[in-house]
């Protein structure tokens, strides 16, 4: 399992778009470390790490506060119930910056 943790970390750091999708993260791990290419023979599923294990590892990294594990899309972070202020801090957004509000003209 330790090897899988290193694989998840490597992909999250090198492919930030995988932070938003556990499926994309799983596919990229399979392609990078298990030489699956663009297709998978169903029998290979016995030897490949499962998405639920990968998802759990990603969530643990996020809980420990690793910046490179946080989703890059706020909609995804909100769906995962990540505190917005903590998310903004992890991604390096300025503190206490008020959101710009566009007035609605009636």
Is residue 26 within 8 A of residue 51, CB to CB? The reply is yes
Residue range 54-104, pLDDT digits in tens: 999 999 998 898 988 888 888 888 888 777 777 777 777 766 554 554 555
In whole angstroms, give the CA distance from residue 89 to residue 39: 38
Break the chain into its structural domains and give their ranges: 2-90
Residue range 7-19, pLDDT digits in tens: 999 999 999 999 9
Kindly report the pTM of this predicted structure: 0.74
Is residue 47 within 8 A of residue 34, CB to CB? The reply is yes
């Amino acid at each position: 399992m330790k090897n899988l943790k290193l694989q998840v970390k490597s992909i999250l750091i090198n492919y930030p778009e995988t932070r938003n999708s556990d499926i994309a993260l799983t596919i990229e791990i399979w392609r990078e470390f298990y030489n699956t290419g663009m297709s998978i023979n169903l029998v290979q599923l016995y030897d490949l790490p499962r998405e639920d294990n990968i998802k759990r590892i990603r969530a643990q990294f996020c809980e420990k506060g690793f910046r490179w594990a946080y989703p890059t899309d706020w909609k995804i972070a909100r769906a995962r119930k990540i505190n917005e202020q903590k998310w903004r801090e992890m991604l390096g957004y300025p503190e206490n910056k008020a959101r710009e509000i566009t007035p609605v003209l009636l």
